[in-house]
Amino acid sequence: MTKRAFLFIGVVVFVVAPMLLLRAQTVQYPIELVPPGKGPYTFPDGYQTPWDKIDILVTAKMSPNLFVLHGSQGLDPAHPDASGGRAMALFGPDGVLMVDTENRQVAEKTLKAIRSFTNAPIKTIVNTHVHPDHTGANAFFAQQGGVIFAQENLRLEMIRPPAAAGRGGAAGAAPAQDTAGLPVATYHYDPAKPGEPAVTFTMNGEVVDFIPMMPSHTAGDTIVRFRKANVIYIEDFYRNFGYPFADQANGGSLKGMIDAVDLIEKLAGPDTLLIPGHGTFVKKPELLPYRAMVADILAKAKTLRDQGKTLQEVLAANLTAPYDKATQGDTQQSKDRFITEAYDEVKDFPPVVEGRRTMPTRR
Ligand SMILES: [Zn+2]
């Protein structure tokens, strides 16, 4: 072998190979560690969620210092694919920024999961919407030092949830028992500037935008964009486990969910990873069939309601049938809720007042 050949092999072994290795190490994010379960899941009548059995795990890493937390599968009938709402933690020398706080019952476990990767103080919390699987441990984490940010509507929904105000519908949240759990830094959605961040944090090498959303899943939604990691936490206006849920009593709207998808279309790039509160991670093309389905069900519900059909008749028409096969985690309850929402939305839909709508009382 010539001297030149030796030199060539040397270059390959000592220069090129380590570069490839380094490259392999730098392109490995995001890493999904624990995907949500697929089911099907069944629970006996009278089943109670065994909170003591539910673990909060680091289920994904979006960058070296941006982790996703989620609960165990198969135990929580509200979210059998993975208990609770996804939470996120950005951590480093500037402290911890949390997106949502998980259920109150697993607050200690959520903190323990965070402490498995950082000892930094809890500094900032943003709530994506009022539901207890996203805000339940607010008071606990505020006591750890976190300052809670959210839309003003979310704060109002927490102070006086629809059920407590004597209204029917899908109320979601228990009244705030502990005022320590209320957001203290609030902002509004500005219809003139959709997609405009209300708050931007620069910390731990990341730039984080809190972007208030139009009334969609609720009237107090915020999505959270991590610019460097190129991920957006899109909370619950999109879901791929069970049928769409617009919490209309808390100001949500199916039409608003369509607008929310359209806004993501503008905000996200082709490689931006979208993190829903539940279900699997997606990229923006995957939102389009969902958008089409919501639009289709709204149109069909409108046609039937315009013909004078009652809610019972509309439910019996089984409008979601074409989608049942492709919808993971679909249940009769999830279908009926979705169609009822469409029925309620296409005629005499009440306006949002202080984060809520006065929806008809049923059941
Ligand atoms: Zn949720």
Cα-to-centroid distance, 363 and ligand 1 (Å)? 23
| pLDDT at site 52 | 97
Share of the chain above pLDDT 90, in %: 83
CA of 103 to the centre of ligand 1 (A): 10
68 φ/ψ angles, rounded to the nearest 5 degrees: -110, 135
Domains of the chain, by residue range, sit at 25-345
Query: So what's the pLDDT on residue 13?
Result: 59
**Residue with more model confidence, 226 or 8:** 226
Task: Answer whether residue 178 shows pLDDT above 90.
Answer: no
- Is the confidence at residue 214, as pLDDT, over 80? yes
* C-alpha 242 to ligand 1 mean position (Å): 12
Question: Which helix (H) or strand (E) segment is 141 a member of?
Answer: helix 138-143
CATH code of domain 25-345: 3.60.15.10
Residues 181-189: what's their mean pLDDT? Answer: 98
Residue 308 alpha carbon to ligand 1 centre in Å = 34
Name residues with Cβ closer than 5 Å to ligand 1, which is an ion: 85, 133, 236, 277
Beta strands 273-276 and 231-235, pairing class: parallel
Q: pLDDT band at 8, cuts 50/70/90?
A: low
Say whether 108 sits in a helix, a strand or coil: helix
**C-alpha to C-alpha distance for 240 and 280, rounded to whole angstroms:** 7
Distance (angstroms) between ligand 1 centre and the Cα of 79 equals: 8
Average pLDDT over residues 289-297: 98
Distance 130 CA to ligand 1 centre (A): 9
Distance 85 CA to ligand 1 centre (A): 5
How many Å lie between the centroid of ligand 1 and the Cα of residue 245? 10
Q: What is the rounded distance in angstroms from the CA atom of residue 304 to the CA atom of residue 287? A: 26
Contact indicator for 284, 260 with CB cutoff of 8 Å: no
Task: State mean pLDDT over 283-305.
Answer: 98
233 in helix, strand or coil?
Answer: strand
Given a cut of 60, whether residue 25 has pLDDT beyond it is no
CA 165 / ligand 1 centre spacing (Å)? 22
Per-residue pLDDT for 5 more than 70? no
| Ligand 1 midpoint to CA 128 (Å) | 9
CA of 19 to the centre of ligand 1 (A): 42
Across the strands, what pairs with 233? 224, 275
CA of 325 relative to ligand 1 center, distance in Å: 23
Distance 236 CA to ligand 1 centre (A): 5
Compute the distance from residue 87 Cα to the ligand 1 centre, in Å.
10
pLDDT of residue 165: 46
Residue 19's pLDDT is what? 61
Residues 128-146 have pLDDT tens digits of 999 999 999 999 999 999 9
Mean pLDDT in residue range 298-310? 98
Average pLDDT score over residue span 25-34: 84
Q: Is 70 exceeded by the pLDDT of residue 21?
A: no
**Is the pLDDT score of 1 beyond 70?**
no
Parallel/antiparallel/unpaired status of strands 96-99 and 122-126:
parallel
Q: How far, in Å, is the centroid of ligand 1 from the Cα of 119?
A: 27
- Rounded Cα gap, residues 299 and 319, in angstroms: 10
Q: What residues does 149 pair with on adjacent strands?
A: 126, 185
Phi, psi of 297 (to 5 degrees): -65, -40
DSSP states of 28-85:
--SEESSPPP-------TT----GGG--EEEEEEEETTEEEEEEPSSS-TTSTTSSS-
Is the pLDDT assigned to residue 49 strictly greater than 90? yes
pLDDT band at 290 (very low <50, low <70, confident <90, very high): very high
Which of 26-30, 144-148, 156-160 has the least mean pLDDT?
26-30
Residue 299: Cβ within 10 Å count:
13
At residue 57, φ and ψ (nearest 5 deg) are -120, 155
pLDDT digits (tens, 9 = 90+) for 83-92: 999 999 999 9
The pLDDT mean for the chain works out to 92
pLDDT level of residue 361 (50, 70, 90 thresholds):
confident
